[in-house]
């Protein structure tokens, strides 16, 4: 059978783009279908706009400390409209850059919503396209609970496109996205209430880390309701009234956003027409991203694999190498570092203390909390926390965690060391750069 393409990718997010460009570089004839803008959730609705907002929010902390450093009092006057205009221009630029990269690689861009017609055919905007191999990279989407008044709530995607800055924002959720956005909006001088359905924020993160994040966010002004669920939302004339569990009432909320659940974005794909197997709402794949159909593959947030942009990119490139580059390889999903872009910033890699204690008979933890040099003069008194989790017999470091400035930059380098089998003795023997925050990992006890 003659096919229109060697590869058709559904979804032009980071993973789909990475796979399409690499496959095209191997000489494959490639097309990519996207119903939204090139770049996917990360570039358009997630990581990039969130990070730009994090930068904007960080100025409030700088301004707060400017007087102690001789700059005098700086007026805190954030202009939401001005920032959003500049941010949107940058996102437009990134979309254009990714689109041009696809074109330069020879990838054909098909605009529209794609769905399966059969196992080798995809239907987009009234046209059929056939392909020898098909890669599904459609990402995930937010889901809101079915409660009275839920039509008055928004998702994180909508929060990032609000035309007006909310005076009082309520965020429902405990995951890293909820915590991150709570810190961001609070840093932009809005009142923020974080409603946590569980006992604490970040339930999968090391306890010492999440406790430190929560306490420091409270110091910065974020209000927490833990073990609380929103049971009802009532729209008043100029605000929302929230009925919380445990007989609590939260008044004068301008905007409420639910960041409690994300699911694979599979609606309308008609996977049954291609006999692609799913489990618990996600596409089942093997270690090489292959689905139940030998020529159909899936990567990223529509699978049960870790939902991080670099993971999707790595999976996309590994798929292209294996299927078109004669370089069979699978992604190693162990020891993937990730950042919690909260205020304060946190990052982690490897096992937290409780998971390490489940896996090993002998675990030692080394932690250090200190005030960084910057804060000695500054008004801010927030502290940095460093923690190493060590397998006691071999002294091999199996986890590293940090709360404080530059956490992401420091932890991702430590991730390389952990993958290489670094030991606590190696840390003790290393001389760091002074004065810096990272050097404290070499003096932790």
Asked if pLDDT for residue 346 goes beyond 80, the answer is yes
Handedness of CA 133, 137, 138, 143 (dihedral sign): positive
Q: Are 324 and 28 in contact (CB under 8 A)?
A: yes
pLDDT digits (tens, 9 = 90+) for 404-414: 999 999 999 99
Handedness of CA 28, 34, 39, 42 (dihedral sign): negative
- Regarding whether 267 and 210 lie in a shared domain, the answer is no
Whether 337 is in a domain gets the answer no
| Residue that terminates a domain, selected from 206, 229, 260 | 260
Residue 136's nearest CA partner among 115, 118, 151 is: 115
The two three-digit tokens of residue 120, written as one number? 């080798």
Strand partners, 193: 170, 223
Whether 247 is in a domain gets the answer yes
The torsion defined by the Cα of 169, 175, 180 and 183, in degrees rounded to 10, comes to 50
pLDDT digits (tens, 9 = 90+) for 222-233: 999 999 999 999
- Regarding whether 83 and 23 lie in a shared domain, the answer is yes
- Regarding whether 276 and 250 lie in a shared domain, the answer is no
434 part of the active site: yes
- Regarding whether 154 and 97 lie in a shared domain, the answer is no
- Regarding whether 84 and 155 lie in a shared domain, the answer is no
- Regarding whether 220 and 88 lie in a shared domain, the answer is no
pLDDT digits (tens, 9 = 90+) for 46-61: 999 999 999 999 998 8
The confidence score (pLDDT) of residue 248 equals: 79
The confidence score (pLDDT) of residue 85 equals: 96
- Regarding whether 128 and 271 lie in a shared domain, the answer is yes
Share of the chain above pLDDT 90, in %: 89
- Regarding whether 431 and 379 lie in a shared domain, the answer is yes
- Regarding whether 119 and 12 lie in a shared domain, the answer is yes
What is the rounded CA–CA span in Å between residue 256 and residue 159?
Answer: 9
The two three-digit tokens of residue 74, written as one number? 């700086």
Whether 334 is in a domain gets the answer no
- Point out the catalytic residue in the list 128, 307, 401, 434: 434
Whether 339 is in a domain gets the answer no
pLDDT digits (tens, 9 = 90+) for 415-437: 999 999 999 999 999 999 999 99
Enter the pTM of the model: 0.94
Q: Where residue 219 sits, what CATH number does that domain have?
A: 3.50.50.60
If one counts the domains in the chain, the total is 3
User: Mean pLDDT, to the nearest integer, of 333-358?
Assistant: 93
Q: Are 41 and 13 in contact (CB under 8 A)?
A: yes
Residue 21's nearest CA partner among 125, 98, 128, 118 is: 98
Whether 168 is in a domain gets the answer yes
Q: Where residue 433 sits, what CATH number does that domain have?
A: 3.30.390.30
The torsion defined by the Cα of 44, 48, 53 and 56, in degrees rounded to 10, comes to -130
What is the rounded CA–CA span in Å between residue 194 and residue 75?
Answer: 27
Q: What is the DSSP string of 431-444?
A: ---SS-SGGGGGG-
Whether 370 is in a domain gets the answer yes
* Residue in the block written with tokens 């330069």: 104
The confidence score (pLDDT) of residue 237 equals: 84
Whether 353 is in a domain gets the answer yes
Handedness of CA 276, 277, 283, 288 (dihedral sign): negative
**First CA to last CA across the chain, in angstroms?**
65
- Regarding whether 165 and 229 lie in a shared domain, the answer is yes
| Residue that terminates a domain, selected from 206, 238, 260 | 260
Would you tell me the crossing angle of helices 14-25 and 80-105 to the nearest 10 degrees?
20
- Regarding whether 88 and 20 lie in a shared domain, the answer is yes
The confidence score (pLDDT) of residue 287 equals: 96
- Regarding whether 170 and 116 lie in a shared domain, the answer is no
| Residue that terminates a domain, selected from 271, 292, 324 | 324
Residue 72 or residue 124, greater confidence: 124
Strand partners, 171: 194, 257
Asked if pLDDT for residue 75 goes beyond 90, the answer is no
Whether 309 is in a domain gets the answer yes
The confidence score (pLDDT) of residue 111 equals: 97
Residue 98's nearest CA partner among 38, 25, 48, 179 is: 38
Domain containing residue 134: 5-142+263-324
């Amino acid at each position: 059978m003659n096919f229109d393409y060697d590869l058709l990718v559904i979804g032009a997010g980071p993973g789909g783009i990475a796979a399409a460009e690499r496959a095209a570089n191997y000489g494959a004839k490639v097309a990519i279908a996207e119903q939204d803008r090139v770049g996917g959730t990360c570039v358009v609705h997630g990581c990039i706009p969130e990070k730009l907002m994090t930068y904007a929010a960080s100025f409030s902390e700088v301004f707060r400390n400017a007087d102690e450093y001789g700059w005098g009092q700086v007026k805190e006057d954030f202009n939401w409209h001005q920032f959003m205009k500049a941010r949107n221009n940058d996102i437009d630029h990134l979309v254009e850059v990714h689109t041009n990269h696809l074109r330069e690689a020879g990838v054909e861009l098909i605009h529209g919503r794609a769905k399966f017609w059969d196992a080798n055919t995809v239907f987009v905007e009234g046209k059929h396209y056939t392909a020898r191999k098909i890669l599904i990279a459609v990402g995930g989407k937010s889901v809101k609970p079915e409660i009275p008044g839920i039509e008055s709530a928004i998702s994180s995607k909508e929060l990032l496109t609000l035309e007006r800055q909310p005076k009082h924002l309520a965020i429902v959720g405990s995951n890293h996205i909820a915590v991150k956005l709570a810190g961001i909006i609070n840093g932009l001088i809005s009142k923020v209430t974080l409603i946590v359905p569980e006992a604490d924020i970040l339930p999968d993160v090391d306890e010492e880390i999440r406790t430190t994040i929560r306490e420091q966010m409270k110091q910065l002004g974020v209000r927490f309701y833990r073990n609380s669920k929103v049971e009802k939302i009532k729209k008043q004339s100029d605000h929302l009234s929230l009925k919380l569990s445990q007989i609590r009432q939260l008044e004068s909320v301008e905007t409420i956003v639910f960041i409690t659940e994300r699911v694979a974005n599979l609606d309308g794909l008609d996977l049954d027409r291609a006999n692609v197997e799913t489990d618990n709402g996600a596409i089942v794949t093997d270690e090489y991203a292959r689905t139940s159909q030998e020529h159909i593959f899936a990567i990223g947030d529509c699978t049960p694999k870790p939902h991080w942009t670099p993971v999707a990119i790595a999976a996309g490139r590994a798929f292209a190498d294996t299927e078109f580059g004669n370089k069979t390889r699978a992604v190693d999903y162990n020891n993937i570092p990730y950042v919690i872009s909260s205020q304060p910033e946190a990052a982690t890699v490897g096992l937290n203390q409780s998971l390490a204690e489940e896996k090993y008979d002998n675990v030692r933890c080394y932690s250090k909390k200190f005030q960084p040099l910057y804060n000695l003069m500054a008004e801010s008194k927030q502290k940095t926390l460093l923690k190493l989790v060590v397998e006691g017999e071999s002294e091999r470091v199996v986890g590293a965690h940090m709360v404080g400035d530059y956490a992401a930059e420091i932890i991702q380098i430590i991730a390389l060391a952990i993958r290489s089998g670094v030991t606590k003795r190696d840390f003790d023997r290393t001389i760091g750069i002074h004065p810096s925050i990272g050097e404290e990992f070499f003096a932790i006890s």
